[in-house]
Amino acid sequence: MAEPMGFYTDTTVCIGCKACEVACKEWNQLPATNGGVNTLSGDSYDNTRRLDGIHWRHVKFIEQFPEDRKDGRWLLMSDVCKHCVQAACLEVCPTNAIIRTEFDTVVIQSDVCNGCRACIAACPFGVIDINPVSNTAQKCTLCYDRLQSGMEPACSKACPTDSIQFGTIRELRERAGARVQQLQNAGEKRAHLYGADEKMLGGLNSFYLLVDKPEVYGLPPDPKMPTRNLVPGSLFSILGALLVGLIGIVNFRRRGAGEVKEARP
């Protein structure tokens, strides 16, 4: 296996230009929403709205302004699949359509997926959705085809401020750690990394530098694996089955006067 590759997104230098969204759509030949007819969301400058089957990059615009607008800031963040080391989608996929590549990234094979949508419900980040052209679940592939040819992903290549950086996870973590230090020293005490170590789902191969709580960016503070419920859920179900079985056996076996009385009300 090649060394694990991924994205480090420094949200503090994102300018909201959406070049990443456009580059992603161009390279991956993803169609426009609503046949290209412009629809406005009314939510800041964000008309992409969310990640789905035809949006594999989504620049979020978070406006933080008080009522009097004397002070304030924009939080901008280019969201994407996190390519989790412990990937919920891959874990639950019942057809093995979702695979881990030699770059430690997570890819959905469109020719295998049958659209059961288990992965959509499993992803803690709400990344995956059905692509209306293929009718299969789709998401960012971290440009698997480009990686195989030794190229970098389209979005990071297009990013004009290096908010999105591509590289080996080891190198990206070093770079991100230094940047957090730099911001802290400059007085931005809220700067921290999201998903840059093994504590979160074994590590996110697409991790973030944030300057507010994750939930402000629409990121779960404590994402977990879906199989956490498998054993307790199964044990309680077995308990239910045992109780139901017991009730059934006792009542079908009980015979005699009781029924005769009931039969003649």
Partner 1 sequence: MNAVPSSTWFSASPEWGWLVVLYLFLGSLAGGCYFLAALIDLVGRAEDRPLARLGYYAAFTCLVIGGILLMFDLTRPERFWHLLLQSHTFRPMFKYWSPMSIGSWALVTFGAFAFISFLGVLAEDGLLSWRAARHMRPPGLLARVIAVIGGLLGLYVAGYTGVLLAVTNRPIWSDTPLLGMLFVVSAASMSAAFMILLARRSARTAPGIFALHRIDAWVLALELLVLIALVISLGPVARAWLNAWGLLLFFGVIVAGVLAPLALYWRRDWLGERNMTTAAALVLAGGFILRLVIVFSAEGVGV
Task: Considering the complex, state which of residue 16 and residue 226 has its C-beta at the smaller distance from partner 1.
Answer: 226
CB 8 within 8 A of CB 176: yes
Smallest separation, CB 174 to partner 1 (Å): 28
Q: Which structure tokens are listed for 138?
A: 């789709």
Segment interacting with partner 1, rule: CB under 8 A, options 14-22, 165-173, 190-198, 252-260: 252-260
Single residue of 54, 127, 140, 183 touching partner 1 by CB under 8 A: 127
Q: Give the angle 207-183-216 at the CA atoms, nearest 5°.
A: 50
Smallest separation, CB 62 to partner 1 (Å): 8
Alpha carbon 13 to chain centroid distance? 22
CB 77 within 8 A of CB 105: no
Q: Using the Cα atoms of residue 186, residue 190, residue 191 and residue 192 in order, give the sign of their dihedral.
A: positive
Task: Considering the complex, state which of residue 69 and residue 252 has its C-beta at the smaller distance from partner 1.
Answer: 252
Residues binding partner 1: what is the number (CB under 8 A)? 71
| Contact positions with partner 1 (CB under 8 A) in 194-213 | 213
Indicate whether 229 belongs to the interface with partner 1 (CB under 8 A): yes
Indicate whether 218 belongs to the interface with partner 1 (CB under 8 A): yes
Centre a 10 Å sphere on the Cβ of residue 117 and count the other Cβ atoms it contains: 14
Element housing 129 (H / E) = strand 129-131
Indicate whether 100 belongs to the interface with partner 1 (CB under 8 A): no
Indicate whether 129 belongs to the interface with partner 1 (CB under 8 A): yes
Smallest separation, CB 37 to partner 1 (Å): 22
| Contact positions with partner 1 (CB under 8 A) in 21-80 | 50, 52, 62
Indicate whether 245 belongs to the interface with partner 1 (CB under 8 A): yes
Single residue of 108, 122, 140, 210 touching partner 1 by CB under 8 A: 122
Task: Considering the complex, state which of residue 72 and residue 258 has its C-beta at the smaller distance from partner 1.
Answer: 258
Smallest separation, CB 136 to partner 1 (Å): 6
Query: Cα–Cα distance between 181 and 192 in angstroms, integer?
Result: 9
Among 73, 27, 24, smallest CA distance to 51 is for 24
Query: Cα–Cα distance between 1 and 169 in angstroms, integer?
Result: 14
Single residue of 23, 118, 155, 209 touching partner 1 by CB under 8 A: 118
Please give the biggest Cα pair distance in the chain: 88
Per DSSP, the three-state class of 14 is coil
Segment interacting with partner 1, rule: CB under 8 A, options 66-74, 89-97, 143-151, 184-192: 89-97
Indicate whether 13 belongs to the interface with partner 1 (CB under 8 A): no
Indicate whether 133 belongs to the interface with partner 1 (CB under 8 A): no
Task: Considering the complex, state which of residue 121 and residue 178 has its C-beta at the smaller distance from partner 1.
Answer: 121
Q: What is the phi/psi pair of residue 24, to 5°?
A: -65, -45
Ranges of beta strands (E only) in 21-79 are 58-64, 73-79
